[in-house]
Structure 1
C-alpha cells in the first residue's frame, strides 16, 4: 500500500474515486439530515396546529358555556313568568322566591369561571334582576353599574334586538364605585324580534386571562384575541420583545366558530431537541459510510491501476527500459509512458531506416539475381512488387553494359575521376530517356555499369535504342568513349539473365579482340557453350532439394540457348559432359552409388546421339529429384541405399528378385518394393532390367560373346527372355544393336 501511494497516478485515481464516492455520501447525509429536519418540523407544525386548534376549541367551548347559561335560564319557570308584564304571578314572586331567583342567577354566573357578574333585563318592564336584587334599569345603570354613555346606548339598542350571543367590545364600567374592565355579552332569552328578557353578562378579562393562561400553557410565544373590529380582547406574550420577532415565529390565524373573535397564536420556530442516541447513531452512520467509501475507493483505484502497473512492469522488466525520472521520489507514470513511447518512436525511426536500407539492399540483390538468372517463379512477381520492381513475365528486357576501360587498373579513384564518372551517368540518363523504355541502373563493379532496359513492347528493331547517341554525347562532353554493348531483347524475367550473359560474352569478345586474340566473333560463339556459373549453382540447389519443375526449366533454358548458338557436335558434347559432372557431384554428396549412371552416360557418349544425351540428363535429374522427395527419414535413406548397393552388386544373378531382397533384409516383399520406389523413384523391375540391358550393351559392343552367353552373364536364364527385354527397352533386337554399333565404328 505504501508503494502504491508513492505513485502520483495512483494517488490521483484514489482521490478521484474518493471524491466520486464521497460526494454522494455527503449529499446523501445532507439529504438525510434535511429529511430528518423536515420530518421534525412537520411533526412540530402538526403539534402546533393541534395545540392551536385545541386552544380555539377550548375558548369557544367556554364561550358556548355562556350561551348554555342563557339557555338554562330561559327554560326556568320563573324567567318565563317574569316575561309577562301583568300582576298574575306577582304574588308568586315573594321575598323568598326572589332570593331563590337571585341565587340561581349567581350560581349560573359563578359556574363559568370567567364572568364578573350578570343581569336579566326586562326591556318592556324597564327592570332587571341582578345578583344584588331587582332594580329598575335606570336605577341600576346609574347607581350600581355605570357605563360610558356610548356603551350604554349600544347596550340599550342591543337589548331591543334578538341576539343568540352578541359579545361586545371590552369597556370600562364603574361597579359600586369601582372601575373595572368588562366584556359585555348579550343573549336574548326569548326568540322574538323584540325579546322581553335579555341576559347581559360581563366577562372579567382577568378571569378570562387566568383561564386561557392555564389552558394554553407556556409552549406558545404569543397569543392574542381580537373581535370583529380588531379590538384587543386578550394578549399573552411569553417571548416576543420586538415586532421583528414575529417573523421568526410560526403563526396560526384562526376564526372562532361561535362568535366574531379571531385567535392569533404564535409558536417558536425551532426544531425540537433530538434525542441524544439518535444524533449519535446518525453521526456514526455517516462516519462509517465515509470510511467504507474510502476503502471502496482504494480498492477501485487499485483495480484501475493494475493494468497500468502491469504495463509499467512490462516496460521495465521485459523491455528493459528505465525512465529518466526513475530516481525521483514521486513518479508520474504517464510521463514515464510518454518517455517510453518517445523511445519507441526513435527506435521505430531507426528500424524504419534499417528497413529502408534492407529494402534497398534486397532490391539491389534481387536485381543482381535477375541478372544471374532467377528460376524460382512462385511468388516472384509479388516479391518484385514488394521491392518496387515493376517487372513481369509479359515484358521485354535487354541489358545495356557499359565498360569503363580507363578505370580498370585503379583500385582507388581521385575526386576528379569520380566527378567525371558522375557526369557520365548524367549524360547516360539524359540520352536514355525514351518514352516507352524504362531503365534500372545496377552497379556491379568499379569498371562496369549495367542498365536493365524494360518495356511492355518489343524494342529489338535496329536503331530503336540510341547507343550511337550515347557514344556521341560522351565523346562530346567528356572526351571518352567507353565500350557500350546492348544484349539481345528477351521476353520474360529469365530473359534478363540471358540478355546479360549475351552482352557479357560480347564484351569479352571485344576485350579479346583488343588484345589481338586470334578469334573471330563466329568462332568465339561456336566454341563456347552457354552454361553460366549462377545457373549451375541453381541447378545443384534444385537437385539437392528435389525441385523437379525448376530443374527441368533450367535444363530447358540451357538447351534452348545453346541450340540458338549452333554449337558444334564437340561443343554440345562438352556442355552435356559438364552438366553430367555437375549431376554426379550432387549424387556423390547425396551418398548415392553413381557407377550405373557413369556407365550409362559413357555408353551414350560413345553412340554420339545428342538428343539421347539430353534425354538421359533429364532422366537422371528427375530420378535424383524423385529420390530426394521420397526420402522421408534418414533411416529410410540408409536402408534404401543398402538395398540399392546390394542390387548393383548382384543384379546379374538369376535369383535377384523382391522375394530374395525380402529374405536378405528381413522385410516383407511389399515393404521392400515400396522402400525401393521411395529411394530411386522407379520400380524394382524397371531398375534391374536397365542395369542388365546396359551391361548387355557393353558386352555386345565387344563382339566376343554369343547372345546366350551374354544373357546368362546379365542374369537371364533364357535367350528368349533376354531378347524380349532388350527389344522393349532399346527398341531394336540385340544382334541388330551390335551390327549398328559396328557400322558406326567403321564409318568413323
Structure 2
C-alpha cells in the first residue's frame, strides 16, 4: 500500500512530468517525420498514377490521330484515283449508263476497305451518276441505299442536302445513332468532297462511317484499369465517343466547361479528370478516374502508416511512462532525503534539479569550509594524539594505527624510538602572568631549535606542563638501519648540543630526561613514564643534565608494573591480540628481571599483582559465562610462583593464551553467526533490485563497511559477487524449469535491465542466457 501511494505521488511529481514531457516530445519527432513521409509518398503515388493515366490517354490520342490521318490520306488517294476521276468527270446520259466504267471504278475503290478498320463502312456519292459506291456494291438509286443505311434522326431530303449535296473538307460529324442493314449502332461520320480541293462545286462526296466502338476500344484500357470512364469530344464539345458515361452525365457534370477553364488534371468531387487536346483535329480527350481507386495504394499506405503510428504512439507512451518513472524515482528519493536531512533551512530552488544543485553546492561549500577548519585544527588534533599516546589512553595498537593514519603529520616510518621530557629550570613554584609568558616564549624557542637540529629523528612534540615539553622520537625513513647503540649516542649528542645552544643564546637552562626504548607506539607510554621518573630523580642531582632512565633505575628496589601497562595488557587480552599480550609481558619481565634486581618479597608482590590482573579479566565479557569463568578461575587459583624464571614465564603466558583463545573463539562464533545471518538475508531478498549494503546493515545491525570487510575476510569473496552468484543460480533454474522470457527472469532475480542480467549471466556462466536455455533444452 505504501509503495502504491509512493508511485501515485511520483506520477504527479514535477520531475516525473518533466521526464514524461521530454520523452513524449522526442516521440513526436519520428511521428512528424512519418506523417511527412506519408504525405510525400501519397503525392508521389497520386502524381505517378495521374502521369501514367495521362500517358496512356496521350498514347490513345496519338494512335487515334494517326488513324484519322490515315482516313484523310485514303480520301486523298480516292480523289486521285484515275478510274474514279474518269467516272466522276463523265457526261452521263440518263438513259444510258457506262456500266463497265462504273464497275471498273467500283472495283478499285472497294479495295480501300481492307486498308483500315475505320473504312469497313464507307461509301462514295457520284454527283453525275447519282450513284453510290460501297465496299459491297453499287447503288444507282440513292434512295435504295438510304433505306438500308441511314441515321435515325435524318430524313432522305436532309441526308441528300446536308451530306451529299454540300461541300465538305475534312469534316467530322459527332456520334449519331445509325441503322446499317437492320443493325443499330453509333457512328462518327467523316466527310470529304471529291476532288480534294473542291471549294465551290464538287463531283462527289466520300463518306466514311466509323463505329464509335472502334474508337472507344482505344480508350477503354484506362477505365478498365481504374474503373472510371472516358470520352472524346470535337472542338465544339460534341461527343465523338464515350466509354462508361452517357451524354446526360457529361452535361450534368458540366465537364466541357471545367476542361475549358482548367485544362490538364483537375479534381471534381471524388473524380480525377485528365484531359488532353489533339493538335491534329482539335478533339478533346477526357478520362474520369475514381480518386479512391487511383489512390488505393496511397490509402493502403495511409492505413499502414496510421496503424504503425498509433501502435508506436501507444508503445512509446508506455515506454515514456516507464522511463520517466525509472529515471525520476532515484532523483525523487534523493530530493526526499535532502529535504528530510536539511529540513526547512535547505535551498528551495525553482525545481528539483535546481533544488539538488543548490543543496549539493551548499554541501560542497560546507565540506570545503569544514576541510579548512579541519586543517586549522590539525595541529591541535596531532598534539592531542601525542598526549593520549604518551599517557597510554589508547585501548589497542589498532586504534593507535587507525587514528595515526588519519593525521598527515603522524605517518611514522618506524614505530621504535624513545620518549624524552625537557624541563625548563628556574621556574619551580613561580606562578604569575609574566612567568607564564616567559615560559611560553621559552618553549617556542626550544621547539624551534629542536626541530632545526632534529637530524635523523622524526619528532612529535607536545606541552606537558607550563615548564615541560614531551617529545616522541622515532627514526626517519633514511635512518631506519641505525642500530640501538648508535641511536642512543645520536640522542645524547642531540640534547647536549641543544642544551648548550639555548643556554648560550637565550640563557635558558633545561634538564632532559629520556625513557627506555619502545618497540611499538602503544608502548610509548611506558617510555614516557620512565622519562618522567628519571626527571623526578633529577631533583637529587646538583647540576641539570641529560638523564637516561637506564642510569637511574638500577638504584630502585621496587618492582615495575605501572597501571598503564596493566590497562594495556587488559585491553589486548579483551580483543584477543595475543602477539601484543606477549610483547607487553616480555617488557614486564625485562624491566623487573633484567634491569632490576628484585628481592623475593618484591617478586611475590609482582606475582600477586599479575594474579589480580587475571581476576579483573573475569569481570569482563566474554569471560562472564559461568562455565568459562569457573574453569579460568580454577586455573588462576592453582597458579603457583615458581623459583625458575622460565617456568614463571611459561605459566603466566599459558594462562594469557587461554584467555585470548576464549576471546578469539567467541569472535569466530559471533562472526559465523553474523555471516549466516547475512547469507539468509541475501537468500530471502535477492530479487530486490534495490538491495544494497545499507539494507543489509539495517537487518544485521552492523556498519556497512564492517559488513563488507567481515564477509570478505570470512568467505574469501566480495559480498556483491556472492549476491550475483545467488541471482544467476536462481536464473539458471528458471531458464531450465520455466517458460518465462529472459526479460521476465531478469526482473524476477533482481536486475533492473535485461542487458545487465545478460552481462552478469555471461560473466558467471560463460555463456548467454539464450544459449544456455537452448543447450539445456
Name the CA shift for 1:246/1:383 in 2 (closer, same or farther; >3 Å).
same
Q: 2:705 aligns to what?
A: none
SS of alignment partner, residue 422 of structure 2: strand
The 5-angstrom pairing of residues 428-467 of structure 1 reads: 428-433=447-452, 434-455=454-475, 456=480, 457=482, 458-461=486-489, 465-467=493-495
**2:596 paired with 1:576:** no
Counterpart CA distance in 2 for 1:466 and 1:267 is: 125
**2:553 paired with 1:553:** no
Q: Give the Å deviation of 1:370.
A: 5.0
Q: 1:623 aligns to what?
A: 655
Q: How many matched pairs?
A: 532
Contact 1:74 1:80 in 2 (8 A): yes
Q: Give the Å deviation of 1:354.
A: 9.0
SS of alignment partner, residue 556 of structure 2: helix
Q: 1:306 aligns to what?
A: 325
Q: 1:20 aligns to what?
A: 26
TM-score where L is the length of structure 2: 0.51
Counterpart CA distance in 2 for 1:112 and 1:212 is: 26
Of 66, 70, 82, the match for 1:64: 70
Q: 1:537 aligns to what?
A: 567
Q: 1:342 aligns to what?
A: 361
**2:53 paired with 1:53:** no
Of structures 1 and 2, the larger Rg is shown by: 1
The 5-angstrom pairing of residues 300-699 of structure 1 reads: 300-318=319-337, 320-321=340-341, 332-346=351-365, 348-349=367-368, 367-368=386-387, 371=390, 384-385=404-405, 387-388=407-408, 389-391=410-412, 397-404=417-424, 414=433, 417-418=436-437, 420-422=439-441, 424-433=443-452, 434-455=454-475, 456=480, 457=482, 458-461=486-489, 465-475=493-503, 478-488=506-516, 493=521, 496-497=524-525, 499-511=527-539, 525-543=555-573, 548-569=578-599, 572-573=602-603, 576-583=606-613, 585-586=615-616, 589=619, 592=630, 601=640, 609=643, 611-612=644-645, 615-616=647-648, 618-623=650-655, 625-626=657-658, 629-630=661-662
SS of alignment partner, residue 440 of structure 1: strand
SS of alignment partner, residue 215 of structure 1: strand
Q: 1:703 aligns to what?
A: none
Counterpart CA distance in 1 for 2:494 and 2:327 is: 67
Name the CA shift for 1:585/1:4 in 2 (closer, same or farther; >3 Å).
closer
Q: 1:157 aligns to what?
A: none
Counterpart CA distance in 2 for 1:268 and 1:465 is: 126
The gaps in structure 1 that reach 5 residues or longer are 121-130, 132-143, 147-166, 186-207, 220-235, 255-260, 634-748
Counterpart CA distance in 1 for 2:416 and 2:127 is: 148
1:355-380, Cα deviation, whole Å (9 max, x unpaired)? 87998788656645653568966797
Q: 1:687 aligns to what?
A: none
1:390-445, Cα deviation, whole Å (9 max, x unpaired)? 4456x75222211246777689x848835751553244323442332221113344
SS of alignment partner, residue 26 of structure 1: helix
Contact 1:66 1:112 in 2 (8 A): no
Name the CA shift for 1:311/1:13 in 2 (closer, same or farther; >3 Å).
closer
1:93-124, Cα deviation, whole Å (9 max, x unpaired)? 9535389579969999998999998999xxxx
Contact 1:535 1:554 in 2 (8 A): yes
Contact 1:489 1:499 in 2 (8 A): yes
Q: Give the Å deviation of 1:335.
A: 1.5
Contact 2:235 2:284 in 1 (8 A): no
SS of alignment partner, residue 39 of structure 2: helix
> Aligned-residue CA RMSD in angstroms?
6.5
Counterpart CA distance in 2 for 1:523 and 1:65 is: 151
Counterpart CA distance in 2 for 1:628 and 1:292 is: 72
The gaps in structure 2 that reach 5 residues or longer are 1-6, 129-139, 141-164, 168-191, 209-232, 245-255, 267-272, 544-549, 624-628, 667-777
Contact 2:513 2:535 in 1 (8 A): yes
TM-score where L is the length of structure 1: 0.53
Q: Give the Å deviation of 1:308.
A: 3.8
Q: 2:39 aligns to what?
A: 33
SS of alignment partner, residue 435 of structure 1: coil
Counterpart CA distance in 1 for 2:344 and 2:127 is: 111
1:610-632, Cα deviation, whole Å (9 max, x unpaired)? x35x7336414523542663597
Name the CA shift for 1:3/1:480 in 2 (closer, same or farther; >3 Å).
same
Contact 1:404 1:482 in 2 (8 A): yes
Counterpart CA distance in 1 for 2:508 and 2:324 is: 74
Of 71, 78, 95, the match for 2:97: 95
